[in-house]
Amino acid sequence: MNKLAEKHIVVGITAGIAAYKSIEFIRLLRKAGACVRVVLTESAQAFVTPLTLQAISGNAVATSLLDPQAELAMGHIELAKWADVVVIAPATADVLARLATGQADDLLTTLCLATRAPLLLAPAMNQQMFAHAAVKANLATLKARGAHTVGPNAGEQACGDVGLGRMAEPSEIFDAVTALLHRENDLAGLVVSVTAGPTQEAIDPVRYISNHSSGKMGFAIAQAFAERGAQVNLIAGPVVLATPANVTRIDVLSAQEMHRHAMALAKQSAVFVGCAAVADYKMAQVAEHKLKKTDAQDTLTLTLVKNPDIIASVAALTAQRPFVVGFAAETQNVADYAQRKLARKNLDMICANDVSRKEIGFGQEQNALSVFWPGGQADLPQASKLTLARALVDLIITHRNKTQSAVNPKE
Ligand code: PMT
C-alpha cells in the first residue's frame, strides 16, 4: 500500500541554496498522492518563489504568521493540526537554532511548536558551519526531543567547499518521509506496558525511601512505542515529566501500587518493559505518626521487608504472558550481573545500564545500553534516551517476532 496517499505533509523551506531541490521533493510527494502545503520563510523567498511552489504543491503557499488572508484560508494552528508530518528542507543553521530554543517568531517555528506531528529536518549549510559546536548542540537538542533528520551529505558545495553539509537528495528525503510514516503505525494494535521512574516507600507520614530515577528513560520508551502506533500504558512512579502523546499514564507511588497495576495490565499486553527503579525493600510497618528524634538515641534502625519483584511476577505468568524486557542498573560487573538477572527473573531481554558513569543513567539526558537476550547481545552506544529508546523498540520487536515464529512456525 502507498504510505503517502492522502497523507498531509507540511513542507517548510528556509533560506538555503538547496531550496531549489525542494521543488523536486514536493513533486515526488504529489506524485505519491500526498497533500502538500508549503510554508516559506521570508528570506527563503529570495531562493524560490511562492508562485512556483503554489503551482507544484497545488495549494496556496503560506509565508507569514501575520497574513490575515492566509489565516482565513487555514490558520497556523489549523495547519499544525492538519499535518501528519512536518518536513523542513532545507533546514538552515538559523532555523535549527530557533527551533532548539523554542522560538516562535515566524510561521514555520510557531507551527513546529504547535504541532504533534513528527518533524523531519534536512539540514543544509556550509560544511564549516555544520561542524560548528553550536549547530551540533542544536541538532542534538532537537533529536533528543524527537526530531528526525535526513542528511546532510558530503560533497562539493555551492560555495566551493567540499565536506558534510549538502542537503540530502529529494529522493532521499522522500524515502525518509515514507519510512517515518511507515514506522508511524506499524505497531498499531500492539498493547505495551512500561514502568518508569522511582518508587517511594513511606517511612512515616512525612518521610520516604526512594532513588534518583527521573523517569526519562521509561518515558522515552513509552514515546518510542507510541510513535509507531502502539497502545501504550505507562505506569509512572513520582516524576515531573509530561506524558508523551497518545500514552495512557497511571501514576503510582509505592512498589506495591506499581505491582498491582503492572499485574493487571501485563495480562493485556504483548510487551512489558520494566524500566522503573523499584525499591527492593519497604518498611515492615509504616509509622502512623512522624518519627521523633530523641536525645537518648544516636542511631535509628528501620526494619525493612522485601517488596514484590514486579518484573519477575510478570515473567512468571503462565497464561497471557507478554514479551518481558527488564533493565539492570549496575555499578560494577555490569554485563555479568545483567545476564544473571535475565536468567534469574526469566526475562526475554535485559538492558544493562552502567550507572557508575555520571554522564549517563539516572537523571541524565543521555544513556548507553548493552542489551542481552538468551543467546545474543547488542550494544546501543551513548545517545539521547529517545534515540536509544527507538533503537531498543526495534530490537524488542525483532526478537519478539523471532520468538513468536519459533513457537508458531507458520506465522
Ligand atoms: O529514570 P532515569 O533517570 O531516566 O534513569 C533510568 C534508569 C537508570 C532508572 C533505567 O535505565 C534503569 O536502569 N532502570 C532499572 C533500575 C533498577 O532498579 O534496576 P534493578 O537492577 O534494581 O532491577 C532489575 C529489574 O527488575 C528492573 O527491570 C526493575 O524494574 C525490576 N524490578 C526490581 C525490583 C522490584 N522489586 N521489582 C522490579 O520489577
Measured distance CA(195)–CA(332) in Å, rounded = 24
Q: How many Å lie between the centroid of ligand 1 and the Cα of residue 144?
A: 22
Q: Report whether pLDDT(1) > 60.
A: no
Which positions are annotated as active-site residues? 159
Ligand 1 centroid distance, CA of 344 (Å): 15
Among 2-11, 46-55, 83-92, 202-211, where is mean pLDDT lowest? 2-11
As to burial, measured by CB atoms within 10 angstroms (0-12 exposed, 13-18 middle, 19+ buried), residue 322 is buried
pLDDT at 410: 55
Distance 278 CA to ligand 1 centre (A): 6
Atom number in ligand 1 closest to CA 310: 39
Phi/psi zone of residue 246: left (φ > 0), alpha (ψ -120 to 50 degrees), beta? left
Q: Look at residue 210 and tell me whether its pLDDT is greater than 60.
A: yes
Pocket of ligand 1 (CB under 6 A): 195, 197, 213-218, 255, 274-278, 280, 307, 309-311, 326-329, 341, 353, 355, 361-363
pLDDT at 183 over 90: no
- Give this prediction's pTM: 0.75
Q: Chain-wide mean pLDDT for the chain?
A: 93
Atom of ligand 1 nearest to the CA of 280: 36
| Pocket probe mutation, ligand 1, options 241, 311, 323, max atoms within 8 Å of Cβ | 311
What is the structure's pLDDT at 384? 83
pLDDT of 411 > 60? The answer is no
pLDDT digits over 348-375, tens only?
999 999 999 989 989 998 899 999 999 9
pLDDT band, very low/low/confident/very high, at 409 (cuts 50, 70, 90): low
Q: What is the number of the ligand 1 atom nearest to the C-alpha of 361?
A: 8
User: What is the model's pLDDT at position 58?
Assistant: 96
Q: What number is the average pLDDT over the span 244-264?
A: 95
Average pLDDT over residues 338-347: 97
Residues 44-84: tens digit of each pLDDT: 999 999 999 999 999 999 988 877 776 766 778 889 999 99
CA distances from 165 to 19, 132, 159, 223, 363 (A): 14, 11, 11, 30, 33
Q: What is the pLDDT of residue 383?
A: 85
Query: Which of 69, 77, 33, 31 is closest to 50 using CA atoms?
Result: 69
Q: Would you say residue 103 has pLDDT above 90?
A: yes
Q: What is the pLDDT of residues 375-400, one digit of tens each?
A: 999 999 888 898 899 999 999 999 99
227 pLDDT band, cuts 50/70/90, is confident
Identify which has the larger pLDDT, 189 or 161.
189
Nearest Cα neighbor of 386 from 231, 196, 184, 221 is 221
Give which of 226, 147, 151 is closest to 184, Cα–Cα. Answer: 226
* Mean pLDDT of the region 295-311: 95
Q: How far away, in angstroms, is 329 Cα from ligand 1 center?
A: 6
Task: Please tell me the distance between residue 401's alpha carbon and the centre of ligand 1 in angstroms.
Answer: 25
- Among 194, 275, 313, 359, say which to mutate for ligand 1: greatest number of ligand atoms within 8 Å of CB: 275
